[in-house]
Amino acid sequence: MTASVASADSVARGSAAFHRGDYVRAARELAPAAERGNARALGMLGFLYEHGFGVPQAYAAAADCYYRGAVQGDPFAQAQLGLMYDKGHGVPTDFVLAYKWLNLAAARSNGRQRDAYLRFRDAVASKLSTYEIIAGQRFALEWAPDRPAPDVHLTVK
């Protein structure tokens, strides 16, 4: 069995356990795939760390998992990272970066998932000035999975 097949099997088993609510098993199955950089596994493992499901709650570990999945273009990881920036959990509170990641997640999703990400993004936008919204949109437009920009921006007062 190749490493990619083993990783896919691990993610499938981890995802099934995650959706059954067997979070300890989900973490055990997802961790090896996440360590190999599987974006889907990173997103789900980040969720487990953020909420303390099956693993000790650790916002910094959650943010790290989400970031590593987000820069690969995984919309769930992007949305969750955006929400972490909105709440300041595991990362400094930064509404512009929250807007950026939620905008990217919405653009890569469809249906109810897209609608939810748009609602989250719009809630964040209500905390921003027009200039900050433009900056968040620009960061999202300039971003690509093959050349992720660092999560930094200039604060204008």
What's residue 8's pLDDT?
78
How does residue 145 score in pLDDT terms, banded at 50, 70 and 90? confident
15 has a pLDDT exceeding 70: yes
Gap between the terminal Cα atoms of the chain:
56
Rounded to 5 degrees, what angle do the CA atoms 121, 140, 49 make?
Answer: 60
CB 123 within 8 A of CB 104: no
pLDDT at 153: 41
Which pLDDT does position 14 carry in this prediction? 95
pLDDT tens, residue by residue, 86-98: 999 999 999 999 9
Task: Over range 111-126, report the average pLDDT.
Answer: 98
Q: Is the pTM of this model over 0.75?
A: yes
d(CA 16, CA 3): 20
